[in-house]
A and B are shown apart, each in its own frame.
Chain A
Amino acid sequence: MAEPIRIVHYLNQFFAGIGGEEKGDEPVGHRGGPVGPGLALQEALGAEGRIVATVWCGDNRFHEMRETVVSDLLRLIEAEAPAVLIAGPAFNAGRYGTACAILGSAAAQKLDLPVVTGMFPENPGVEAGRRDMYIVPTAAAATGMRAALPVMARLALRLGRGESLGPGDIEGYLPRGSRRNFFDAEVGAERMVAMLLARLRGEPFRTELPLPRFDRVPPAPPVRDLPRARLALVTEAGIVPQGNPDGLESWRATKWVKYRIAGLDALAPEQFTSVHGGFDTARIRQDPHRIVPLDVLRELEREGRIGRLHEDLYVTVGNVAPVARAERFGREIAEDLRKAGVQAVLLTAT
């Protein structure tokens, strides 16, 4: 039989058996073999994995001297040449959970170690560490130890063998914020029918795509004094000069651009076109004013119904844009407009 997988286990002062709150300043320590919950963890690992050492630190000490503590712990861990680091479980203990997350992230990033821990899903350590480690959801209190350890042990052994894990909801860890493709056992149509039958029978079912949370943007208050306001035109319709001099992309645009419209009374179709790749642009290529009404705004400007039209037209393509990038474009354009003293924007979308 192959050598057992080498595992180092991290605990706080309480679970290491040193003491409670009063021992929160306990410095970094270590000992060969399992300690405290490590004994039950070793049992769950069986012959395939071996806790070669346990390292610990007091929760207060960890957070007060974070850098020193983490580098001391990493040194101790590295010396044991483990294949996996297991931390906790920390249940709903906030400081302990955050310590597991910080140490785990450091071990993952600096030592390239797979890390397994366990926490109550609302432990602040989850947000801090979920991207770098595998966090098994646990009960809020240590009464959940018996349920958590076998799952942690199973994941640790698989990671220690160099296997890659399946999705979080199937493997039993909290999702790490990255949706990935894989080939399932059943085809999609069969999964649709099975999920529908489960719903119709009132049985539990698991959506494959939990609904995302979108920001709600409150509408801006009305412009107070339009006849004095400087108004800018902003569009995601991909209106660019013929020839697309900046190479604005027709989908998943990587940039926003601006074009001088000072002195222009109209957007002639011989001069401007649309490179948007997400809809039928024929009508707006015939007449770009259908999406950027420069002609009408010039009239309103002459009539004094708006103060002044800003000299630049701001353009991007919103087609298939990643949300984070669209948010960045919005911030950057708003910043540019603010610097230019613009008070109002006509934002046209497709």
Chain B
Amino acid sequence: MRLELVSFPVRDARFGPRLRFADEVLEIDRAGLLDLVGRQADFFRSVQVDIARPGERTRIIHVIDAIEPRCKVAPAGAPTFPGFLGPPEVTGTGRTHRLEGFAVLTTGNIPGAEGSQGLKEAIVDMAGPGAEYTPVGRLTNVVLRFEVAEGIPVPEAVQAIRLAGLRAATWLAEATRDLAPARVESFELGPADPALPRVVYIQPMMREGDIHTTFIYGLPVESLPLVLHPNEVLDGAIVSADYWIACHRIPTYLYQNEPVVRALYRRHGHDLNFVAVIACRCLIVAEAEKRRQAAQVAKVARMLAAQGAIITMSNGGHAYADQMLICQAVEQAGIRTVLGVDEYSDTDGGDVPLVIYVPEARAIVSCGNQEARVDLPAMERVLGGDRFVTTGNSYEEAFRRHPAEPFTIGIRQIYAATAQVGFGRLTAREF
């Protein structure tokens, strides 16, 4: 299974008369894009489109998802996001074009979205210290702002926004379809020296309640192991629908550019033998279901003759319990593990960092303390909404202010800041 990922680096984007990519500049036909994403007219009261560039004093709020523009060039007719924009065929072979350094950010406001169907505030700053924390702060972003019509049930509203975002991402990448590739990366699990250790990547993906989930080929992740080829992860099989706490969401963009998959690929055939990705669920509700999954994940890892496993997670709270149970079962199967986590060490760094642990969790990489606070400066422009989403919590004092103002917040409010897949350099240690 061989995937050629063709990168077209985007230096800048601007609006113009037609969709065109030349000299690393993406020209976007604004009316054409609005026409495309506004097709579900019954759902949206209005749709706006803007461009946000790195270094601009722009703050984007109400971020829903970030998607890297992709289009499938070969095999002919293969869907770019199978399960959403085509049948759920196995992806990860052939040739896919990508706009590198670029993302579609869906943002918006959904009337009546509250409680367990609520979307928590998620912030992206394009300049200043906030931009350092989020994986999309250094990208050129097309920001789509959806105002959902009154009376649309929340699950339908988020699905409409999701489809619009995926369509926009595909449409934009179409600008490169007939262009000569700038850079081609090949992903193939070629033969490796049998002496190298066999490594699997165990990736629990969040799912909770009606709207918060992770889609695999268009359907919500299940609480049993699913063996994936790493190319499937990189090539559009996974779509994010986590709208809970901003910092440990894993945007679709981070599945398309999965950092652990890429890191394991880099070492494949040199230091290790990358065997497979084992996708499973976190935030499972029932204890028996949690334990069944952990046991089955360990069984599959053993059947794959794995010697080592990286286990990440997404979201928080009892997602840690799912991760720790998997760690325990996998270690007890004789497989060495390393965990990726983020921390709840409180604002002063003095609290117990994890919700739960097992004694087998001896090797942990921290993607940062989500409670740490950061000062964000004033911005000149706000995209995505007019005022912050607040749950009335006293910790969200800053959210009573206008989003363009300077304020101090916990990095938990910054989009994907502590995503436990380790995209960035943020970490925490005891000082």
Contacts and interface: CB of A to CB of B under 8 A. Distances in A.
Interface of A: 165-170, 175-193, 195-197, 199-200, 205, 207-212, 214, 244, 247, 249-252, 254, 277-282, 285, 319-320, 322-324
A150 B75 CA distance: 63
A170 B427 CA distance: 13
Given A189-B260, A189-B421, A192-B263, A167 B354 contact: no
Contact of A179 (B308, B337, B353, B393): B353
A187 B338 contact: no
B194 interface: no
Interface stretch (B9-17, B26-34, B224-232, B367-375): B367-375
A179 B394 CA distance: 24
Contacts of A193: 260, 263-264, 267, 272, 310, 338
11 contacts: A168-B431, A169-B430, A179-B431, A181-B369, A183-B132, A184-B425, A192-B422, A193-B272, A211-B359, A252-B395, A280-B210
B431 A167 contact: yes
Given A189-B260, A192-B260, A280 B365 contact: no
A179 B418 CA distance: 15
A183 to B, nearest CB: 4
B317 A319 contact: yes
Contacts of A319: 317
Contacts of B272: 193, 196-197, 200
Most buried by A among B267, B316, B357, B430: B430
A206 B114 CA distance: 42
B352 A169 contact: no
B180 to A, nearest CB: 30
A197 B271 contact: yes
B398 interface: no
B427 A205 contact: no
Given A190-B263, A199-B338, A247-B394, A180 B429 contact: yes
Given A181-B368, A212-B353, A278 B425 contact: no
B427 A189 contact: no
A168 B430 contact: yes
Contacts of A186: 425
Contacts of A279: 116, 208, 317
A208 B427 contact: yes
A136 to B, nearest CB: 15
B199 interface: yes
A184 B366 CA distance: 11
Given A193-B264, A281-B116, A319-B317, A179 B421 contact: no
B333 interface: no
Interface stretch (B214-222, B291-299, B343-351): B343-351
B430 A189 contact: no
Contacts of B159: none
What 8 pairs between A and B have smallest CB-CB spacing? A188-B422, A167-B429, A175-B430, A189-B259, A280-B209, A189-B422, A280-B116, A178-B349
Interface in B372-403: 372, 391-395
Contacts of B354: 209, 212
A188 B352 contact: no
A187 B259 contact: yes
A197 B363 CA distance: 11
B1 interface: no
B351 A323 contact: yes
A196 B259 CA distance: 15
Interface residues of B, number: 69
A188 B336 contact: no
Contacts of B350: 177-179, 324
Contacts of A324: 350-351
Contact of B427 (A165, A178, A184, A322): A184
Contact of B429 (A170, A187, A244): A170
A185 B364 contact: no
Most buried by B among A168, A180, A199, A282: A180
Given A199-B363, A212-B357, A182 B422 contact: no
Contacts of A199: 308, 336, 338, 363
B238 to A, nearest CB: 16
A167 B426 contact: no
Nearest to A214: B352
B428 interface: yes
A170 B430 CA distance: 10
Nearest to B345: A179
A166 B259 CA distance: 25
Nearest to A167: B429
B307 interface: yes
B422 A200 contact: no
Given A168-B430, A180-B429, A319-B317, A208 B391 contact: no
Contacts of B392: 244, 247, 250
Contact of B338 (A183, A196, A249, A277): A196
Given A187-B423, A195-B338, A200-B307, A208 B429 contact: yes
B364 A208 contact: yes
B198 to A, nearest CB: 10
Nearest to B374: A181
A276 to B, nearest CB: 9
Nearest to A165: B431
Interface in B257-301: 259-260, 262-264, 267, 271-272
Nearest to A186: B425
Nearest to A208: B366
A181 B267 contact: no
Contacts of B426: 181-184, 188
Contacts of B364: 207-209
A197 B337 CA distance: 10
Contacts of A168: 429-431
Given A166-B429, A188-B426, 8 more contacts: A168-B431, A180-B431, A195-B338, A196-B337, A200-B336, A208-B428, A212-B352, A212-B353
B424 interface: yes
Nearest to B317: A278
A200 B351 CA distance: 31
Given A168-B429, A205-B363, A249 B394 contact: yes
Contact of A183 (B260, B344, B425, B431): B425
B90 interface: no
B365 A188 contact: yes
B363 A280 contact: no
Contacts of A182: 426-429
B336 A249 contact: no
B341 interface: yes
Given A177-B350, A249-B393, A192 B208 contact: no
B115 interface: yes
Contacts of A188: 259, 340, 365-367, 420-427
Contacts of A252: 393, 395
B362 interface: yes
B189 interface: no
A170 B428 CA distance: 12
